[in-house]
Structure 1
Amino acid sequence: MGVVTVREEQAIQRLTDRLVDDYPTEQVETVVATARQRFAGHPVREFVPILIERIARRELAAASVVEGGSDIASAAGTGAKSIAVRGNTGTQANAIRRIVGSGAGKLVADKRLMALAAAVVVLVLALVVGFAVRQPDQPIAAGAAAPGVTTVRGVVGSEKMAFFEDPRVVEALARNGVKAAVDPAGSRQIATSIDLGKYDFAFPSSAPAAERIQRARNISTKYTPFSSPMAIATFQPIADLLTAAGVLRPGPVSTFDIARYLELVRNDVEWDKLPGNTVYPVHKNILVSTTDPRTSNSAAMYLAIASHVANDNTIVQGPAAEQSVLPTVSRLFVRQGYTENSTEGPFREYLSAGMGPTPMVWIYESQFVEATVRGQITPGMVLAYPSPTVLSQHTLVPLTASGDRIGRLLVTDPDLQRLAAEHGFRTSDPTQFAKVTADNHVPVATDVIDVIDTPTNDTLEHLLDGVTKTYN
């Protein structure tokens, strides 16, 4: 079952549970199943659970009105026929039940009350029918947004796709009249090679990438709804080897010493050369797996950290410093072989393939937290924080007025901020992230202290260009 289908099933199960609170279980299941059939085969699924709940409530409320009306008509002796209606909210049915209550005997004894009750039924049903006529159910064309909802197109870093595909996020945006149709891409791709003319917003994963977009398009507005420090995902046997080698410092959260790691890289140390290594005796260099620095922001952040440490823990500035650090930092990338364009790829391999191909993976902290919430992190998987690290500011650049609307919602809407935290991002309210990690027992750094500034965008581009040349 695909990811989208699983989420849709979960959303439908939640709406079914809500309906069962108000209506008989068997009736709810029948109505929901019938409503689902109306959307079978539609390729765009974002609003299906919302529409199913709307239709189901309408049908269930209508059935309740018919049942209540029939009871009153029978008690009053009017011989009124049951009228099937659609488009009610259920409040009329509750009012009818209160009229019936325990007073059915009095209705029989008092003809005037019977006539009044029958009149109420006729009036209520007339109003319901009129409402249904004004709001008929119309088939939803494939790919179309729900009525009153504006589709806003964006291109986002791949690590944010799960957030935008979450039915709860879709629903929260829909409540504000917006549907986000997003395409994934590497953050540097977004800033350098993606045609942004067809999009309403660009949402890379760092301030430097966003800055490049802003400068190229002369845009001053930006939104930073959440952030994530960079991290390393590894496995306990690898962590034990790195601890013995002086690279990893264990604790409540593990710390990965970039300076010690660079020493191993400069000396071409291989895994099977580590003393006492019986758990991973592999004849290849000790390297953290990353994405392609030519297309991906996470790899660019890795380069920023490594260059800082290689430059005697100082931000790289100027041609001389750039040339000095390039021989070291280039090794981190060119010796990996093939690398993917976005962090989703290597992290997915980490989750599925184990430590064989990917003993260490460079990721966003949010990816590990989100995977834990989903139940994808298994015993023996370890999260470590590089020392130093950088805080990746996920920055949205609005390209149109509709894109600006999305940016403002992501920053100000409390539901969207809460859901961002559930997807592992750190928002403006630290208690949201703290609650998610505590509830799901994720060992994260409460305060990320050892954070450096990235080089200027121009310097970072020079370093990336230098690394690119070494590939050739």
Structure 2
Amino acid sequence: MGVDTLREEQAISRAADRLVQLYADTHSAEHVRGVVEATHKRFDGFPIRDFVPILVERMVHAELTAEARADQAASPGAAVDVQPETTADTVDDAPDSPEIHSPENDRPSRKPAALIHNKGFLSLVAAAVVVAAVVVVVNTGQDEPPPTPAPLTIVRGVIGSEKKAFFEDPRVQQTLAGKGVKVEVESAGSRQIATSIDLRKYDFAFPSSAPAAESIQRRRHVNTKYTPFSSPMAIATFQPIVDLLTKAGVVKEKGTVPTFSVDRYLGLVTAGTKWEQLSRNDAYPVDKNILVSTTDPRTSNSAAMYLAIASYVANGNAVVHGATAEKSVLPLMTRLFTSQGYTDNTSEGPFNEYLTVGMGPTPMVWIYEAQYVDAAARGQLKPGMVMMYPSPTVLSQHTLVPLTPSGDRIGQLLSTDPELRGLAAEHGLRSGDAARFAKVATDHNVPVAKDLIDVVDIPSYDTLEHLLDGVAKSYG
């Protein structure tokens, strides 16, 4: 079962649970789940899936409500609230209309199963909801057509790739649709967003760090920003590598959360140590330099965060500031990146390789903590995969810069809406809903650092840019 199919099945299951509780007084749980299953099957074969769960829930709600009212009407002495102009005949003869999907428009019907007759009509409804969120009602059995829902406001954004899964989550899309908006996103490297992408066609920019956001604010003369999410940087690796580096004194396992000494790691890099040179190395005896795989520092924020930590340690555990300090640390910073060979533009690339290919090409991958937690929640992790925290680390502040009033509204919603914050936590993002984040990590057996103590500051925007530009020049 694919990831999208799994998400849809989970959303349908949650909808069924809600409906079972809602109709506990009138319908058995078995009957409710049967209606949900039958309704869901009517959407088989249709390519547009985003709004299937909400359509199914509304259709089943309408059907069960109609059944309950019909049963009430059949009971001796029962008082039934029926619209004056609605009779059994008009209900039978009136064309099926999507307005019965809304609870406030439910009416008794002797043919609840006739909500949808064929795949063509189903496709029309699904496509209309996805494209414009407008259901066109054709109803010749009434004098006045029901009101048409207002179309959703389309809001476009460019985001760091690590937030792509969050915005593609049907639950997130459904929650935003309930607020009257549909968000369409494109992903890119955060530094690429900040320096080279034409932002005029977007309503908001959502890179993965404060320095990248600051660059955008300068370019676009924007004072407002929102920081709804954060994520510490981490390293995705494998248990044999953890064991090997523990023997070498690079990794320490504090409880269930391994920590990676950046200072000892830089010592190995400076000495040009290769994996096969580590003593008692039966796990990974390869003729390769010991390096953490990162993204391209010319385009990606996660690489900039790696540089921020490494430069801090190389500068004697002090934030780099000034031309002298920059010149001192730059040779080692350059070596950390150019020795890797090819690097991807976004954090999605190397992490996907880690998930699919394994330890061979990428024994250690620089990631956001959120990526690992989200992969665990999706069932993508394999036995032996481990996340460890660099010591020190930095907290990447996912910062949204609104470029239009619509973009500003998205920033407000992501920062204040409890449901969206909770869903962000389910995708591994630290959104302020600490309890939900902890539950997600616990449920999927991901040891996470509860209290982030060993966190250092990022260099100023100008210093970081100088270092990144210096590394970029070494690529030729």
Q: Do the structures match in fold with TM over 0.5?
A: yes
- State how far apart, in whole Å, the 2-side matches of 1:177 and 1:297 are: 31
Which among 268, 271, 283 is matched to residue 264 of structure 1? 268
Structure 2 counterparts to residues 139-288 of structure 1, below 5 A: 139-141=125-127, 143-147=130-134, 148=150, 149-252=152-255, 253-288=257-292
Q: What is the letter of the counterpart of residue 452 of structure 2?
A: V
Instruction: Judge conservation of contact 2:36–2:57 (CA < 8 Å) in 1.
Output: no
Structure 2 counterparts to residues 113-128 of structure 1, below 5 A: none
Residue 16 of structure 2 aligns to a residue whose secondary structure is helix
- Structure 1 residues 36-77: Cα deviation after superposition (integer angstroms, max 9, x where no partner): 64685354x322221222123223323443454456699xxx
Tell me the residue number matched to 2:8.
8
TM-aligned CA deviation for residue 12 of structure 1: 2.2
- State how far apart, in whole Å, the 1-side matches of 2:210 and 2:308 are: 13
Which among 49, 61, 66 is matched to residue 62 of structure 1? 66
Instruction: Judge conservation of contact 1:186–1:342 (CA < 8 Å) in 2.
Output: yes
Greater displacement, 145-154 / 410-419: 145-154
Tell me the residue number matched to 2:141.
none
- State how far apart, in whole Å, the 1-side matches of 2:405 and 2:395 are: 28
Structure 2 counterparts to residues 67-82 of structure 1, below 5 A: 67-69=71-73
Residue 260 of structure 2 aligns to a residue whose secondary structure is strand
- State how far apart, in whole Å, the 2-side matches of 1:37 and 1:254 are: 49
Structure 2 counterparts to residues 457-468 of structure 1, below 5 A: 457-468=461-472
Q: What is the letter of the counterpart of residue 166 of structure 1?
A: D
**2:46 matched to 1:41?**
yes
Residue 19 of structure 2 aligns to a residue whose secondary structure is helix
- State how far apart, in whole Å, the 2-side matches of 1:401 and 1:289 are: 39
Tell me the residue number matched to 1:408.
412
TM-aligned CA deviation for residue 262 of structure 1: 0.7
- Structure 1 residues 415-446: Cα deviation after superposition (integer angstroms, max 9, x where no partner): 11111112111223433333333343321111
- State how far apart, in whole Å, the 1-side matches of 2:267 and 2:439 are: 38
**2:309 matched to 1:323?**
no
**2:396 matched to 1:357?**
no
Number of residue pairs aligned between Structure 1 and Structure 2: 430
Instruction: Judge conservation of contact 1:189–1:296 (CA < 8 Å) in 2.
Output: yes
Quick one: structure 1 residues 422 and 464, their matched pair in 2 at CA, closer, same or farther if it must change by over 3 Å? same
Which among 333, 336, 340 is matched to residue 344 of structure 2? 340
- State how far apart, in whole Å, the 2-side matches of 1:280 and 1:381 are: 15
Instruction: Judge conservation of contact 1:151–1:180 (CA < 8 Å) in 2.
Output: yes
**2:476 matched to 1:469?**
no
Instruction: Judge conservation of contact 1:296–1:342 (CA < 8 Å) in 2.
Output: yes
Quick one: structure 1 residues 432 and 90, their matched pair in 2 at CA, closer, same or farther if it must change by over 3 Å? closer
Instruction: Judge conservation of contact 1:70–1:81 (CA < 8 Å) in 2.
Output: no
Q: What is the letter of the counterpart of residue 16 of structure 1?
A: A
Q: What is the RMSD of the two structures over their aligned residues, measured on CA atoms?
A: 3.0
Residue 299 of structure 2 aligns to a residue whose secondary structure is coil
Q: What is the letter of the counterpart of residue 41 of structure 1?
A: F
Quick one: structure 1 residues 451 and 139, their matched pair in 2 at CA, closer, same or farther if it must change by over 3 Å? same
Q: What is the letter of the counterpart of residue 175 of structure 1?
A: G
Instruction: Judge conservation of contact 2:273–2:289 (CA < 8 Å) in 1.
Output: yes
Quick one: structure 1 residues 42 and 278, their matched pair in 2 at CA, closer, same or farther if it must change by over 3 Å? closer
- Structure 1 residues 329-352: Cα deviation after superposition (integer angstroms, max 9, x where no partner): 111111111111111121122122
Tell me the residue number matched to 2:82.
none
Structure 2: gaps spanning 5 or more residues: 79-86, 116-120, 135-149
Residue 378 of structure 1 aligns to a residue whose secondary structure is coil
Residue 320 of structure 1 aligns to a residue whose secondary structure is helix
**2:426 matched to 1:422?**
yes
- Structure 1 residues 83-108: Cα deviation after superposition (integer angstroms, max 9, x where no partner): 44772878999xxxxxxxxxxxxxxx
Instruction: Judge conservation of contact 2:52–2:126 (CA < 8 Å) in 1.
Output: no
Quick one: structure 1 residues 313 and 19, their matched pair in 2 at CA, closer, same or farther if it must change by over 3 Å? same
TM-aligned CA deviation for residue 208 of structure 1: 0.3
Greater displacement, 417-426 / 407-416: 417-426
Instruction: Judge conservation of contact 1:32–1:56 (CA < 8 Å) in 2.
Output: no
Instruction: Judge conservation of contact 1:140–1:146 (CA < 8 Å) in 2.
Output: no
- State how far apart, in whole Å, the 2-side matches of 1:88 and 1:262 are: 61
Quick one: structure 1 residues 268 and 401, their matched pair in 2 at CA, closer, same or farther if it must change by over 3 Å? same
TM-aligned CA deviation for residue 237 of structure 1: 0.9
Aligned-pair identity in percent equals 61
- Structure 1 residues 167-187: Cα deviation after superposition (integer angstroms, max 9, x where no partner): 222222222222211111111
- Structure 1 residues 211-260: Cα deviation after superposition (integer angstroms, max 9, x where no partner): 00011000010001111110111111111111111111121221111111
Instruction: Judge conservation of contact 1:35–1:56 (CA < 8 Å) in 2.
Output: no
Greater displacement, 347-356 / 63-72: 63-72
Instruction: Judge conservation of contact 2:227–2:399 (CA < 8 Å) in 1.
Output: yes
TM-aligned CA deviation for residue 14 of structure 1: 2.7
Quick one: structure 1 residues 259 and 19, their matched pair in 2 at CA, closer, same or farther if it must change by over 3 Å? same
Tell me the residue number matched to 1:289.
293
- State how far apart, in whole Å, the 2-side matches of 1:184 and 1:365 are: 18
- State how far apart, in whole Å, the 2-side matches of 1:438 and 1:141 are: 38
TM-score, scaled relative to structure 2: 0.82
- Structure 1 residues 181-219: Cα deviation after superposition (integer angstroms, max 9, x where no partner): 111111111111222111111111000000000110000
Which among 304, 309, 312 is matched to residue 313 of structure 2? 309
Instruction: Judge conservation of contact 1:372–1:442 (CA < 8 Å) in 2.
Output: yes
Residue 125 of structure 2 aligns to a residue whose secondary structure is coil
Q: What is the letter of the counterpart of residue 341 of structure 1?
A: N
Q: What is the letter of the counterpart of residue 470 of structure 1?
A: S
Quick one: structure 1 residues 291 and 66, their matched pair in 2 at CA, closer, same or farther if it must change by over 3 Å? same
Q: What is the letter of the counterpart of residue 154 of structure 1?
A: G
Quick one: structure 1 residues 290 and 375, their matched pair in 2 at CA, closer, same or farther if it must change by over 3 Å? same
Q: What is the letter of the counterpart of residue 194 of structure 1?
A: I
- State how far apart, in whole Å, the 1-side matches of 2:461 and 2:103 are: 59
- State how far apart, in whole Å, the 2-side matches of 1:7 and 1:279 are: 37
Residue 4 of structure 1 aligns to a residue whose secondary structure is helix
Tell me the residue number matched to 2:385.
381
